[in-house]
Structure 1
Amino acid sequence: MAYNNFTRLDAQSAAEKAVSVIGLGYYLCSDVRFSACKTTPDGSRLVEIVPTRNRDLVFPGGIVVNNVSSSIKCDKGEHVGEV
């Protein structure tokens, strides 16, 4: 299924949107775009995030998202080399 009507986000906006949807649900078989993420019926997240201790989250490449829960981490992940 191809989606031709999408808006490309700049790196800063994409990082901010990615952080904002952490813990939300989505329909895996249907639509996994950020815009389709859903809260529970009572408006909460599916994964609890500690909201009291916030900090700036720095992504690889120098992107910074302000006021992010300290329970959310970001690292470069695993490097996969050529086989």
Structure 2
Amino acid sequence: MMRKIKRRKIMAKRIFSINDETDRLLNYYLNHSDKEWDLVINEAIKSYVCDHLTQRQVHEAVKHTGKDAFPANEVLRTFNSSWINGES
């Protein structure tokens, strides 16, 4: 059984499915925590994206001011200064 998730922004309609294994894992977690489903999904997506941004993308995000800009300082907190400065 695939669970469909609709993005809440009206301008961009994106739908994705959660496979059975992920759905079971998510349900188990939710049944044993006090967090809401929406919060867990949003935290999981944010964590995944932050973990997969490249150094170049982070530097560009800091300078970016467009509609899709986000607080890059939240991402920067997860990296050490040598990574940000390109020393690693």
When the two structures are superposed, what TM-score results if normalisation uses the length of structure 2? 0.25
Greater gyration radius: 2
TM-score by length of structure 1 reads 0.26
